[in-house]
Amino acid sequence: MRIAAGVDVGSTQTKAVVMADNGGVKILARALVDTGANVQKAGERAFDRCCAEAAIPGSDVGFVVGTGYGRYKITFGNAQMTEISCHAKGAQFLCPGTRTVIDMGGQDSKAISVGPGGEVLDFVMNDKCAAGTGRFLANAAEVMGIGLDEVGPLSLKATRPVKIATVCTVFVESDILSYLAQGKKAEDILGGVHLAIAKRTLSLARRVNIEPQITMTGGVARNTGMVAALEEVLGQKMEISADAQFIGAVGAALFALEKMDQSFEFGVWRNEHAVSGGH
């Protein structure tokens, strides 16, 4: 049985997945930790926790691929891959038939056009502004004095969503405070916030070729209000895996399994080449 791991170091959370191939590829364990200030330690913590959950020593993991914005800090890793490639590959594995990926993370959002083999055909990123990300939702929750886990379910209760004039994280606070002063309901304000983000994300996604099946990845995929708002503006349902938050790490682990094969084949070739004297 071959065992490999993927570690996805995000801006807010770090995910690790251990996968095995024993005639069929499966996930053995997954772990999620807050990234915090020490990116390297976050990667190590997630990997160690994942191995503990799988009840295997770290030395049993034959290959580790790091991804995410902190991928080069995975000092124990064997290789690095971009999160774009990993999200495409992970989405295709967990949701076969994926042709478009919408990834919403803590600090950026992405739209990826995916080929039938999980390859990246095209992509676009919103990484210079927090609009349409978890950070935007966290700011809205903070201004309204409610928990981040509450914003999605509460937004689903909106009957008259307000119009949010800006999706700028800096200026949305004044919009929200203005609506609160007018006596608008919290659910209608949050309904407006989610709809504004969804429309922003749709305009981003339209820069690639949006084709069904659309799969949503990233931590924001757990927000039921965001999923509903996106499906409303897209005009179609999305696939949401139970492992949506771990899809980048899953893709990294799949690449790690492939790279194990390549390393093994190269090692066999090298040994045989040496024995035969180069002929």
**Percent of the chain beyond pLDDT 70?**
93
Domains of the chain: 2-89+245-275 (3.30.420.40), 97-240 (3.30.420.40)
Instruction: Give 149 or 126, the one with higher predicted confidence.
Output: 149
Read off the pLDDT of each residue in 47-75 and give the average, rounded to a whole number.
96
pLDDT band at 131 (very low <50, low <70, confident <90, very high): confident
| The pLDDT of residue 217 is above 60 | yes
| The pLDDT of residue 115 is above 70 | yes
Give the pLDDT score at 165. 79
Is residue 255 within 8 A of residue 77, CB to CB? The reply is: no
Q: Which helix (H) or strand (E) holds 53?
A: helix 39-54
Give the pLDDT score at 275. 39
Read off the pLDDT of each residue in 187-200 and give the average, rounded to a whole number.
95
- Tens of pLDDT, residue by residue over 65-77, are 999 999 999 999 9
Separation CA 85–CA 236 (nearest Å)? 24
Q: Which helix (H) or strand (E) holds 84?
A: helix 83-94
Q: What is the number of alpha carbons within 13 Å of residue 19 lying toward its C-beta?
A: 30
Separation CA 159–CA 185 (nearest Å)? 9
Read off the pLDDT of each residue in 38-54 and give the average, rounded to a whole number.
97
| The pLDDT of residue 276 is above 50 | no
- Helices in 117-246 by DSSP H: which ranges? 134-144, 148-155, 172-181, 186-205, 224-234
pLDDT band at 127 (very low <50, low <70, confident <90, very high): low
Read off the pLDDT of each residue in 47-56 and give the average, rounded to a whole number.
98
SS3 121: strand
Separation CA 244–CA 216 (nearest Å)? 7
Read off the pLDDT of each residue in 251-270 and give the average, rounded to a whole number.
74
Give the pLDDT score at 106. 84
| The pLDDT of residue 242 is above 80 | yes
Give the pLDDT score at 183. 97
Read off the pLDDT of each residue in 16-40 and give the average, rounded to a whole number.
96
Separation CA 199–CA 222 (nearest Å)? 18
pLDDT band at 263 (very low <50, low <70, confident <90, very high): low
Read off the pLDDT of each residue in 238-252 and give the average, rounded to a whole number.
97
Parallel/antiparallel/unpaired status of strands 2-9 and 63-68: parallel
Read off the pLDDT of each residue in 103-117 and give the average, rounded to a whole number.
92
Is residue 165 within 8 A of residue 189, CB to CB? The reply is: no
| The pLDDT of residue 221 is above 70 | yes
Read off the pLDDT of each residue in 177-190 and give the average, rounded to a whole number.
96
- Read off the amino acid at residue 103: D
pLDDT band at 54 (very low <50, low <70, confident <90, very high): very high
Read off the pLDDT of each residue in 23-36 and give the average, rounded to a whole number.
96
Q: In Å, what is the CA distance from 91 to each residue of 67, 117, 210, 232, 249? A: 15, 11, 15, 21, 11
